[in-house]
Structure 1
């Protein structure tokens, strides 16, 4: 195994670069130089399984199987490569995998000053891929730099997803009807949604009450709808003017729900991503268990 290392100075804070790395939409943009159309499935929390994939012309999934070995937000990500994905099947035990696995890909983000970060990638790779990675990684880092710097001066947009093995009509119904919303619209068991008023029409409003079960905290999650395409898209603007877009994509008997929201400035990006993702995952579990 060989080790390669590349660095770049980016005019953005580590939190912004971190989001560029793990956001599913931005990820596709900065990694296409490795394989066009590449994407990931899985999580970016320590211990999570994650697959880096591409869909071939024959509609087969190929790529790498990995897990998140270590996370220190927003300073360090260690990815442990553990096998191949071939035709959608994961191989972590064959002799060809054992020759190199595990192999590590590490990202280090060092804050230089208030506006600049040094990003370094360290990669363990087989001999036959060393020259290719030495050529491609600098190109990927330039894209990472461009995307992060373009984001730095704009509202941060964060994208989250979940996939639900249920019909689109059922998913849409659970996402939009008041009685269903109160059953899933909270991030943890300590919270609930005692009331939801949802007027699903362009120009109309929604108002969800979010409350802790101990009665010590509550707030209204409110907004106005700007675009509704039945069974395809919901867009709205929150009371604080932040914009949210939600897309429903049906494929092979499953529905992918994708939400993109503008971040606020009170909580860290990682806290907001985790909170919104927890609610979306709660929604997915509710649909799977009840319909």
Structure 2
């Protein structure tokens, strides 16, 4: 059983699954909680990493695992994977309530129980502080950004696929409006951790402009969230490409003066509201795009200073 985080009334996930296995259980917390899916690496990395993966609306952990192919990508690096499920009692569509200030801020709501869940599992799995990262798809991407903003000391980096900044809305109606049209100057979310962004230019569910907004907000924060005068944005290291027989993409990387990564953005032409590079035949997956799972893990490894390649 995982140790309860501070303030939790109970913590009821299963014991750790066997190497290479998948465990299922439940996490209870004063601010919520829900079912979880935990994937243990068959051969853990010398310095383990835990990736918290947040599903989108009308998904659950298993659906996101299938659409992203992240299980295999994480196994190749020897990383742990943790997929929590949003209870339908909390949102009828299974969406994380990223738009609700009561759910996305530090010390309250979904952000609180997700952050405490990640910390509890990391401790149980032997993952050191500073080696936990978070990523998500759609509503899960928005909540991943909210988590990294609310708990920058707990998450080293964040991956946002087809998402939008959490301050884009304040209730369900404004969330639906924001998804349809990205106001270029709306919001001022602090994004203090390195961010990798994937967004399809043909996304008709979450406007592609949100991917660019996330990038601008991250670059405006500078190397640290407390930067009062960030100065000019760093130059883009641009690497355009095309998947053989698939989509073209524009990839930009941004670095600090010392060479460390600030952000990376992928704009994928022809990609709709789907996980780029996901397996053929899976819902919300597009195999014609670049492999977002592999690229996110590569980005996280760079941020963490890991030189090892996938096994």
TM norm structure 2: 0.30
Structure 1 or 2: more strand by fraction: 1
Choose between structure 1 and 2 for higher RCO, CA contacts under 8 A separated by at least 6 residues. 1
TM norm structure 1: 0.32
